[in-house]
Amino acid sequence: MKRVLFYLVILIFLESCGGSGNGELVGVQDRKPFYQPQPFGMAYIPLGSYTMGVGEEDIAYSQVRQPKTVTIAAFYMDETEITNNEYRQFVYWVRDSIARTLLGDILPEDFLVEENKKTGEMYDPPFLNWHTKIDWQGEEERDVLEEMFLPESERFFRKKEIDTRKLDYEYYWVDLRAASKKDYSQDGNYEAGGYANRPQGLQDRSTYVRKEKINVYPDTLCWLFDYSYSFNEPLTQKYFWHPAFDHYPVVGVNWRQAKGFCVWRTQLKNSDLASRKGEASIHDFRLPTEAEWEWAARGSHDFNPYPWGGPYTRNDKGCFLGNYKPLRGNYTDDGGATPIIVAHYPANDWGLYDMAGNVAEWTVDAFDESAVNFTWDLNPSYEYNAQVDDPAVLKRKVIRGGSWKDVGYYMQVATRTYEYQDTAKAYIGFRCVQTYLGRQKDDNPAKASHIYNK
């Protein structure tokens, strides 16, 4: 019996030695290797350096662009602008999440997940159960969901429709820039980790968590707001929700809605990965920085004014290469009067469509005429999180790419302009990016494995 116990002790000792690498520094073992999949519908943009802001024209004499060599890390970018149908998935998710929350009061066993069946852990607050389908016409559900619909006094021809004013999305994000601020006390001692008026930052990190609440439904009336004396009623009534426009770029989305969409898209993917054992989460989807957008739009053609690399807006057959306002206002000469289906024109050399024309695109950057002078040359970005009561000048966000209603100058990859973050326009959409985790796509992690497997 003593001999058996002796061998067990020896076996446990040997096992512990194996886990510790025999006293050598070998890192944490048995970690699952990570290979970043290419996100669906996205193109890979390699890391590189280029001269940002190169352009020969400045028709507004604004002098807001200056040549500067910058370096950009690798990332993925949506091949096209976010379409009506893609954005509608976000709207429907918000609609259904509100419905599930309401139904959870009467049918918690069907619409709320309150307990982890495997561990017995109780969730407070509970998670929404997305596996149970909503019966919108069910006898029990009908009365509970009634508050989501337009009141009878507002219904048109008695048609029962969702009240889009109630489609609010609440989300949270961490203000890393606030967390990175340094505070110097009056006696000269250095303290890290908070604004001067937030000394609790080191003790309570929740002080850097920001809460946002947005209404997610696009402003379909933007077609009338932007063009008062123009017959745009058909687009106002049908552009967002009708199947004929499913693959057209979504418009009427302000900067804050675009940002909220990116947060939701990240949560949607990470929730799916979390349901699979051992899968690591992805990096956040987000709006591109201004420098990332221009690097992607150039498609490896440095110093050229357009994404296709040439100095002209037509190809060698005389056909226009983008949807904009050509000549003296002949909108249809390029094949479309207003926004048209995405990917109608050829992609640039990195597989991105409509980087010039169709709709302009939001970036994450705040607009400042002299930003090029104070931003770093490695992944430059100037961000400012404007509050509701901030002056309008602080709410300016950079838009790029030009649109169906712009002249050719705004189609150039270096042209800078802006709109206000709380405005929605019939000529502005957006696309998402995702930072590549690593140096370059063709890096092979297995090449370095011999270092740890001697």
pLDDT of residue 3: 60
26 within a domain of the structure (yes/no): no
pLDDT of residue 224: 94
pTM of the entire structure? 0.89
256 within a domain of the structure (yes/no): yes
For residue 382, the enclosing domain spans 42-83+229-454
192 within a domain of the structure (yes/no): no
248 within a domain of the structure (yes/no): yes
190 within a domain of the structure (yes/no): no
* Domains: count for the chain: 1
CATH code of the domain covering residue 253: 3.90.1580.10
pLDDT of residue 19: 55
94 within a domain of the structure (yes/no): no
167 within a domain of the structure (yes/no): no
pLDDT of residue 101: 93
pLDDT of residue 200: 55
**Joined tokens for residue 37:** 């999949």
Residue 337 CA to residue 324 CA, distance in Å, equals 8
295 within a domain of the structure (yes/no): yes
pLDDT of residue 452: 46
Nearest Cα neighbor of 332 from 340, 290, 152, 105 is: 340
- pLDDT means over runs of 10, the chain (454 residues): 53 51 84 85 96 77 81 97 98 96 90 83 86 88 92 88 95 85 51 47 77 96 92 95 97 97 95 81 94 96 90 90 90 91 96 97 95 92 91 96 94 94 97 94 60 48
